[in-house]
């Protein structure tokens, strides 16, 4: 998404570039140009446009939490006083083990993904969340294993199919 809020429309060439990068993230512009039958200048221009449009996620999403000593993943549903949302989010960003949080519809207000060293560490993180003024309660679910890793290639490939 562009900073102004307007959407960059991905065309076939953009999708082909993204699919090639998914297959080989270390590809150079020259390598991508060769693979896709494009000029290096076309690839460079397209890649710059995709970067400007914020199509690529931050690099830290590629770093293994287990390699950082935090192999345990849990999801914590957080129930809060709605009027204190901004204050609570500010406090939660200070907890390093919180790697992601979403505002939710439904019973819980927030869904927080945490990375912890072990069960004792998870207990400490949950207590830290509960200690934030305005947090009413939490419900924690331990991730037993990642069954489908984060992926976008199937969406890219679907976007490349001819439209009926």
pLDDT in tens, 84-119: 999 999 999 999 999 999 999 999 999 999 999 999
**pLDDT, tens digit only, all 164 positions of the chain:** 334 445 678 999 999 999 999 999 999 999 999 999 999 999 999 999 999 999 999 999 999 999 999 999 999 999 999 999 999 999 999 999 999 999 999 999 999 999 999 999 999 999 999 999 999 999 999 999 999 999 999 999 999 999 87
Number of alpha carbons in the 13 Å side-chain half-sphere of residue 114? 32
Q: In this structure, what are the phi and psi dihedrals at residue 8, rounded to the nearest 5 degrees?
A: -85, 125
Domains belonging to the chain, first-starting first, are 12-56 (1.10.10.10), 72-142 (3.30.70.920)
């Amino acid at each position: 998404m562009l900073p102004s809020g307007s959407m960059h429309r991905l065309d076939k060439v953009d999708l082909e570039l993204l699919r090639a990068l998914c297959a080989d993230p270390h590809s150079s512009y020259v390598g991508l140009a060769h693979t896709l039958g494009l000029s290096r200048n076309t690839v460079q221009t397209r890649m710059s446009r995709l970067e400007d449009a914020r199509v690529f996620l931050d690099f830290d999403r590629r770093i293994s939490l287990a390699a950082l000593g935090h192999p345990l993943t849990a999801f914590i549903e957080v129930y809060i006083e709605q009027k204190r949302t901004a204050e609570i989010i500010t406090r939660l960003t200070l907890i390093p083990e919180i790697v992601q949080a979403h505002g939710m519809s439904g019973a819980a207000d927030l869904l927080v993904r945490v990375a912890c060293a072990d069960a004792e560490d998870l207990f400490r993180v949950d207590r830290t969340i509960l200690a934030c003024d305005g947090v009413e309660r939490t419900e924690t679910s331990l991730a037993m294993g990642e069954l489908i890793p984060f992926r976008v290639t199937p969406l890219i490939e679907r976007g490349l199919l001819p439209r009926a």
